[in-house]
Structure 1
Amino acid sequence: MNEKYACYVRVSTDRDEQVSSVENQIDICRNWLERQGYEWNENSVYKDEGISGTIFKDRPAIQLLLEKAKKKEINMVLFKSISRLARDLKDALEIREIFLSRNVRIISIEEGYDSDVAGKNDMSFEMSSMFADHYSRMLSGSISSALAAKVRRGQHIGKIPFGYTRKDGILHIKDDEAEIVRMIFDWYINEGLGFKTITHKLNQLNLKPKEIQKWQVTSVQTIIRNRLYCGDFVLNRYTTMKVEGKKKQIQNPESRWLIFQDHHVPIISREWWERANSNLTKTKKKISPWNDLRGILKCSECESSIVPLLSWRLLANGKKKDYRYMKCSKYRRMGEAGCVNHSPILYDDVKALLIKQLLEKSYMLKLSFEDQFQGKKHDRFVVVEKEIDDLKNKAAKLIDLHLEQLISKEEFKQKRDEIDWKIHNLENEKIELSRQEYTTERIENIKQAFDVLSNDSQNLHHALRTLLERVVVHPQGKMDIYYSFHVE
């Protein structure tokens, strides 16, 4: 048979691996194909390993298959069961509709589902998808109950917090780190120091946090706000919700928290924790200033974002005037341990300058973008492929370093997760670049973005992100502007 088929396999956890391993799924698909008269092709297998079936848009292999279906590079997809395709009902139906709209046949071997036989309105697929979705929710509830039972027995779940070690599931105080925790609370309560000042002092004393290289403001704030340090364990503080195909963690109302008091040995007294957090409910939440330049301005020294900070000055008439100035976000979080202190530049001045530069460029802009965008797309595709290869080589070297015990298990996991995250993003960019509609859409976006600049629309942020690749800001205020288009 000359059909261009693809086999999709997925496992999400070690427990999943026990009953539905990659090899097991491949064997089932291969057996079905050979019995139907197909010639087996190892290159037809597409794997998503260690990825939840409830996160549709974060699965590179399924995204690649959908893209191949759109390009008519495949005309049949098979998988062991619908739960391998997706555990979310909405996602399963959406994936099926995309495949069927591109005349791609769908085979689910375990359920005996064949879209060529069933047609587009068959209920068996919907029912099987619903059961997969229901099973996923039941499993989540069972896991939550099991975790709560562990906590009631005095065991700790989740990451080991700074200041503690864990043995047989129980938290024990780690003396050297616990002393730093007490120091942080003492500075905050008795000396009245703020998060930023404490962060700077910790870095100046060269005291190391648990997982990152330098202390950050958020690290200090998390310690002071965390009830864990007075011996309590909080469960059900957060809920994971699905928004636009991706998981997002939100905080539950405090009334839904499960607080286990005196769960483990405290590092500080309950009185100290309450004193440190007595103004927690009274403090107004600090609102970040609106930033049309977010994601565009980058520090020349550390490549972190340049962000606006709110400040004020007193005028001669006694009135207070607010203004926004730009700072390196890493310097703001970590002080001199993170980056250098840039000369202050006003947010409104930077924005006005960039809009002026862009409007001047618009008068010289070529009417036809197609050739230049095709060239840029090809160049970027080559760069992305090279970056992926480089990262895979780094991952291989990382394994060698771990096996030779040159780096710890924690360092290996942290660096490997970082590499995997970068590869995942680059793979998604490759998919985007390979789209045939990319050039036409990009041209239209550029033209619309210039219209927004001229009309001073509320969509200014989107327009600036479309027209500017990045703006590199140097410590003395000099800026290097990189445009996403070419002018003669």
Structure 2
Amino acid sequence: MIKKLRVAAYARVSTDKDDQANSLDNQRNYFTDYITRHEGWQLVNVFYDEGISGTQTKKRKGFMEMIAEAEAGEIDLIITKEVSRFARNTVDTLSYTRELKKIGVGVIFTLDNIDTRQSDGEFRLTIMASIAQEESRKTSERVKWGQRRQMEKGVVFGRDLLGYTVKDGNLYINEEEAEIVRAIFHKYTNEGKGTHIIARELQEEGMRPKRIALWSNVVILRVLRNEKYVGDLMQKKTITPDYLTHKKKYNRGEEGMVYIKEHHEPIISRDLWERTQEELQRRSPSEEQKSKYSNRYWCSGKLFCAECGRRYVSRLRKREDGSVSKTWRCIAAAHHGRKKQDADGKDIGCDNTSVNEESLKTCMNYCISLIQSEREGLKKEILEEINCIRKKQNQKLDVQKLEKQIAQIELKKTKAIDLMLGGVISKEDLQNQTEWYNDKLEHLNKEFLDAKCRDKLENSQTDAMEQYIMALDDIMNLQGDNELIYNEVLDRIDLHKNNVLDVWLKEIPVGIRLKIRTSGRRASYKTEILETDFIEKQ
């Protein structure tokens, strides 16, 4: 008994109920009829995705399930109507059909009359996929143009936000949430409270933000700066520059924004809005102040908790003798204490310990002296490594030679077409010759890419090592105030439990892990280095 060919079908169906031509039932019937007309075929399944763009295959669940079953050996052949239904990204189309072909699975595009199992299938597929991709680009441009015209007319694009519901392109006040918005503006502008305090008060009062679990100063600031609450509408704050990836980014002037004043019913008055913006401006630090506070402490923004990944913040404590002791603590522990769960079951707090600033300075002094004492030995090892890399570079394949060989093959392909058009060779001879040229080009292109990647990697390794040597010399030559030196050479410190610190210096490709012990209290604080290890950067 002859084994039947296991055939799967793929369809992208419209979410528009009026689009009967592309409905799932119609496409099932179409594929069932198509397959039953071929003796020796049996339908395995009809995979489909509903209302999803064809430019990104990774987001199409049905498509990826079909590919997985094909790779598992459960499908012999895939049929789909058009290239544009399979994928509108040329790279994805060719990549997936090639991978399928390697495992013996062909793809037939019924309306485009393309079968990837045939010798000219890939050539014709490339043309059709490029056309589909260009059509996708044009469609994207048309959609963008249409959306902008709609925005200019006042149609709202986007989802609900705190205080408003979006329905049929209009904003409607959600009165229950609007009270929270009014409270935020009142607390900030009329009561003079800070964003951190407002966030804490709202959390304690049992009020919940929209779509996230906890209030934060960032969420409060977004509310205070959102023009929708005064009745104005600004759109195109984010844009999608690449129609293939669909990734959004903030609009930094690449496209003009659409601003409509007094567009909808406001939640707060114009007077409160303007006073709030003035207050935000007044409290916002100037560039000079930002620089001042960002450099206020030598390790500001450079200490991280290795347990929860959060930053360490400074805390000042007054000693009995009147002097001030500075310690650094994980911000999660500073805000919420030891690790626990809140009312919503979310983990808050941190069990990591605090560290005294004097201990950090002791560790920095030790690390700098360690690097200085090991400098010559480290430089010697690095120079030897650089010499080894350069020897490899001298022995590598000649990239220019490969480029020349590729160009020669491409020229021969062109000449072969001319010979066929001139009647010197047959179409069949051309196809055979072209296949040979393509195999040769694939091999040469792989060698060329490998050589370029290796060249790039080795050059970057050499550059990194040369920068390492310069960094070692810089550490030796640093003079002046200790804290200025620490700030200059420190990249970051990761703090673990049990008094273990990973110190990373700028431009140095290894870190220094220290185990310390602290003793004494108040004014007589002492730190000992118990263990030292070099660790590699992950």
TM over 0.5: yes
1:312 is matched with 314
For residues 27 and 346 of structure 1, do their structure 2 counterparts lie closer, same or farther at Cα, with a shift above 3 Å needed?
A: farther
Which whole-Å deviations, capped at 9, do the CAs of 1:379-427 have from their partners, x for residues lacking one? xxxxxxxxxxxxxxxxxxxxxxxxxxxxxxxxxxxxxxxxxxxxxxxxx
| 8 Å contact kept, 1:56–1:246 | no
Cα–Cα, structure 1 residues 216 and 57, in superposed 2: closer, same or farther, change >3 Å?
A: same
Aligned length: 340
The 5-angstrom pairing of residues 91-170 of structure 1 reads 91-119=92-120, 121-122=122-123, 124-166=124-166, 169-170=169-170
| Change beyond 3 A, Cα 1:156–1:459 | farther
Query: How do 1:196-207 and structure 2 match up within 5 A?
Result: 196-207=196-207
- Where 2:248 maps in the other structure, the secondary structure is strand
The answer to whether the 8 A contact 1:309-1:326 is kept is: yes
Displacement after TM superposition at 1:202 (Å): 1.7
- Relative distance call for 1:113 and 1:22 in structure 2 (3 A) is same
Partner residue in 2 for 1:345 = 352
Distance 1:8 1:177, change over 3 A: same
Could you say what secondary structure the match of 2:91 adopts? helix
Please tell me whether the aligned partners of residues 304 and 330 of structure 2 are also in contact (alpha carbons under 8 angstroms).
no
Query: Which amino acid is the alignment partner of residue 265 of structure 2?
Result: V
Q: Quote the residue 1:275 is aligned against.
A: 278
The one-letter code sitting in structure 1 at the alignment partner of 2:85 is R
> Aligned partners of 1:265, 1:159: CA distance in 2, in Å?
17
Identity %: 26
Partner in structure 1 of residue 495 of structure 2: none
Question: Higher RCO, 1 or 2 (CA under 8 Å, sep at least 6)?
Answer: 1
Alignment partners' CA distance in 2, 1:68 and 1:103: 13
Which residue identity lines up with residue 28 of structure 1 in the other structure?
Y
CA distance in 1, matches of 2:354, 2:139: 49
SS of alignment partner, residue 159 of structure 2: coil
1:228 is paired with a residue whose SS is helix
- 2:13 maps to which of 11, 14, 19: 11
Amino acid at match of 2:115: D
Q: Answer yes or no: is 1:258 the counterpart of 2:257.
A: yes
Residue pair 1:289, 1:308 contacting (<8 A) in 2 also? no
Offset of residue 276 of structure 1: 5.0
CA RMSD in angstroms comes to: 4.3
Residues 141-176 of structure 1, C-alpha deviation per residue, up to 9 Å, x if partnerless? 222233222322233222132223456633243444
Structure having the higher Rg: 2
**Aligned CA distance change for structure 1 residues 101 and 324 (closer, same or farther; 3 Å):** farther
What is residue 177 of structure 1 aligned with on the other side?
177
8 Å Cα contact 1:200/1:337 also seen in 2: no
Q: Distance in 2 between matches of 1:58 and 1:9?
A: 15
Alpha-carbon distance change, 174 to 60 in structure 1, aligned in 2, over 3 angstroms: closer
* Aligned equivalent of 2:35: 33
Q: 2:394 corresponds to which residue?
A: none
| Alignment partner of 1:327 is 2:332 | yes
Query: Are 1:199 and 1:216, in contact at CA under 8 Å, matched by a contact in 2?
Result: yes
Alpha-carbon distance between aligned partners in 1 of 2:134 and 2:325, rounded to the nearest angstrom: 57
**2:517 maps to which residue?**
none
Aligned to 1:401: none
What aligned pairs does 1:346-361 form with structure 2 within 5 A after superposition?
346=353
Unpaired runs of 5+ residues, structure 2, are: 295-299, 357-503, 512-538
Q: Pick closer, same or farther for the CA change 1:73–1:119 going to 2, 3 Å.
A: farther
Distance 1:111 1:255, change over 3 A: closer
- Cα separation, partners in 2 of 1:290 and 1:222, compared to 1, 3 Å: same
Instruction: State how far apart, in whole Å, the 1-side matches of 2:87 and 2:23 are.
Output: 16
The 1:155/1:246 distance shift into structure 2, 3 A limit, reads closer
Q: CA 1:174 to 1:100, structure 2 compared with 1: closer, same or farther past 3 Å? A: same
Distance 1:330 1:36 in 2: 70
Secondary structure, aligned partner of 2:134: helix
Q: Displacement, 1:107?
A: 0.5
Structure 1 residue 234, shift from structure 2 partner: 2.3
User: C-alpha separation between the residues in 2 aligned to 1:35 and 1:24?
Assistant: 17
- The answer to whether the Cα contact below 8 Å between 2:315 and 2:326 also exists between their aligned partners in 1 is yes
Deviations 1:31-59 (A, max 9, x none): 22122224443x42222334332222222
How far 1:19 sits from its partner (Å)?
Answer: 4.4
1:311 and 1:67 mapped to 2: Cα distance?
Answer: 48
Q: In 1, Cα distance between the equivalents of 2:146 and 2:334? A: 40
Q: Which moved more, 1:340-349 or 1:28-37?
A: 340-349
Instruction: Give how far 1:274 is off.
Output: 2.2
Task: Classify 1:290/1:15 alpha carbon distance in 2 versus 1 (closer, same or farther; 3 Å).
Answer: farther
Deviation at 1:26, TM superposition (A): 2.4
Helix, strand or coil: the match of 2:186? helix
Structure 1 position 80 matched with structure 2 position 85: no
Tell me how far apart the structure 2 counterparts of residues 98 and 249 of structure 1 sit (CA, whole Å): 30
